[in-house]
Amino acid sequence: MNGIEIGIGVASCGTAAFTGQRVIVEDIQTHPYWAAYKDITRKAKLAACWSEPIHSSMARCWHFDIYLHSKRNPDNAEIQMMINTANMAAIALDRNRSDQALKENEN
């Protein structure tokens, strides 16, 4: 899904990047966001996708996706794990940006 367009209805990842909201798709094969990608996901035996946006101070749209081989929604613990992972990623991205800015100023 690397390089996919960002927009509402463009798989889970494109939609999450565009809206900044978590997108949970329990069944990729029947969800309208995945209509254009059914063949690819069927060949890869992917059944569900959970996309979590990463909210950092950077202007870029970051998110991560969890793909599953079975149809299902995340439970509360998995949702909390997604939130925690996104928060840690945001901290790392912001720290990296700060470090790069500091190096540029030193030069």
Q: What is the pLDDT of residue 41?
A: 94
pTM of this prediction? Answer: 0.82
Q: What is the pLDDT of residue 93?
A: 86
Q: What is the pLDDT of residue 48?
A: 97
Q: Which two tokens stand for residue 57?
A: 């101070």
pLDDT digit string (tens) for the chain, length 107 residues = 677 788 999 999 899 989 999 999 999 999 999 999 999 999 999 999 999 998 877 656 788 899 999 999 999 999 999 999 999 998 988 887 777 766 777 77
Q: What is the pLDDT of residue 107?
A: 74
What the chain holds in terms of domains, given with CATH numbers, is: 11-106 (3.30.450.40)
Q: What is the pLDDT of residue 57?
A: 79
